[in-house]
C-alpha cells in the first residue's frame, strides 16, 4: 500500500473512532463526585444534582439513570432545569416520568432552565402547557423554586434558591448584559447566616451570581461545551459562544463554590465528544 493510501486509511479510521465515541457519549453517562465543605454545614450530606436531561432516556423508563441515583442514597435531589425540550413537537412526558421516579428516592427541589421558562412566559407559542407540567410536578410532591427560596429543616440552616434570569439573557453568539439589579429584584438578598445554595441555570452570568453571595452555585445549560479539550475545557456551548469560562467543572472562588454540570442530554445539535453526560453527586460536610 502506498504512503498516501496509509494516510487515508488512518484518517478514515480516526473519523470512524470519533463518531463511535460521540455515539457512545450520547447514550451513556457517568457519575461525577465533588466534595463541598463549609463551617455553616452540620454533619454529612449527600446531594444529587441533575441538569439538562432534555427528555433523554437511559434504558426503559430511564431505569439506568434512576438506579444510579438510588445507589447514592441522597438526602435530596436538586434539578437545575431543562429536564424537557421546550419546542413544539416534543412532549414533557419523558421528563415527568423521570421526576416521578426521583421523588420516590429523596425530596426533589426543581429550578427552571430556559426551556421551562420560555414555555411559562410565552404559552401561546408552544403546543405543550407549562402550567399543566407544573401542576403535575407539584402533585408529585416536587418543590418548585421559581424565583423562590426554601429553608431546609435540619440541624444546619440550608437555604435553597432557584433563580430565573430574564429570558432575553439566553442569547446566541454573544453574552447580553444582565439588567442591573435583576437578581435581587427576583430573589431578594441572600441570608448571610445560612448555607446559601443558588440554582442558576445559565453559567454565563457567574460573576453576577458570585456577587449576589451564594455559598454554592449550581448551573448547567452549556452541555459541557459539547466538545472538551483536556486542560482547556468546553469548546462551544449551545449558545455558540466559544470557550465559555464555566461549562462543566467545580471551582472555588474565595469561600464560594461553583459547580457546573455537563448535563445529561442534548437538543437540536446532538454532539458530545470527550464530554460525557453526568450525574453530579455532592458530598457536603463541615470543614
DSSP state of 177: P
pLDDT of residue 1: 65
Q: What is the mean pLDDT of the chain?
A: 95
Domain residue limits, the chain: 3-285
128 or 7, higher pLDDT: 128
DSSP states along 128-141: S-HHHHHHHHHHHT
pTM comes to: 0.96
pLDDT of residue 155: 66
- State whether CATH 3.30.70.600 applies to domain 3-285: no
Could you tell me which of 190, 132, 185 has the C-alpha nearest to residue 157?
190
Distances (CA, A) of 182 to 147, 209, 216, 263: 11, 11, 19, 26
Amino acid at each position: 500500500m502506498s504512503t498516501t493510501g496509509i494516510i487515508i486509511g488512518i484518517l478514515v479510521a480516526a473519523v470512524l473512532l470519533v463518531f463511535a465515541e460521540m455515539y457512545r457519549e450520547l447514550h451513556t453517562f457517568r457519575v461525577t463526585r465533588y466534595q463541598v465543605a463549609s463551617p455553616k454545614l452540620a454533619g454529612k450530606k449527600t446531594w444529587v444534582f441533575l441538569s439538562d436531561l432534555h427528555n433523554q432516556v437511559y434504558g426503559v423508563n430511564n431505569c439506568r439513570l434512576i438506579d444510579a441515583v438510588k445507589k447514592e442514597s441522597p438526602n435530596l435531589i436538586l434539578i437545575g432545569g431543562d429536564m424537557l425540550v421546550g419546542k413544539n413537537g416534543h412532549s414533557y412526558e419523558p421528563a415527568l416520568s423521570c421526576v416521578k421516579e426521583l421523588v420516590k428516592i429523596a425530596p426533589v427541589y426543581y429550578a427552571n432552565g430556559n426551556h421551562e421558562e420560555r414555555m411559562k412566559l410565552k404559552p401561546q407559542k408552544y403546543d405543550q402547557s407549562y402550567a399543566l407540567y407544573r401542576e403535575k410536578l407539584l402533585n408529585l410532591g416536587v418543590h418548585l423554586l421559581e424565583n423562590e427560596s426554601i429553608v431546609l429543616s435540619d440541624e444546619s440552616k440550608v437555604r435553597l434558591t432557584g433563580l430565573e434570569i430574564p429570558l432575553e439573557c439566553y442569547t446566541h453568539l454573544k453574552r447580553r448584559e444582565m439588567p442591573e439589579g435583576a437578581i435581587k429584584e427576583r430573589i431578594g438578598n441572600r441570608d448571610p447566616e445560612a448555607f446559601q445554595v443558588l440554582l442558576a441555570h445559565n453559567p454565563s452570568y457567574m460573576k453576577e451570581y458570585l456577587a449576589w453571595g451564594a455559598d454554592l452555585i449550581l448551573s448547567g445549560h452549556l452541555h459541557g461545551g459539547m466538545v472538551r479539550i483536556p486542560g482547556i475545557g468546553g469548546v462551544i456551548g449551545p449558545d455558540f459562544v466559544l470557550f465559555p469560562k464555566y461549562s462543566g467543572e467545580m471551582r472555588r472562588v474565595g469561600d464560594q463554590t461553583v459547580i457546573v454540570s455537563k448535563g445529561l442530554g442534548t437538543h437540536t445539535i446532538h454532539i458530545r465528544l470527550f464530554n460525557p453526560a453526568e450525574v453530579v453527586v455532592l458530598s457536603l460536610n463541615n470543614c
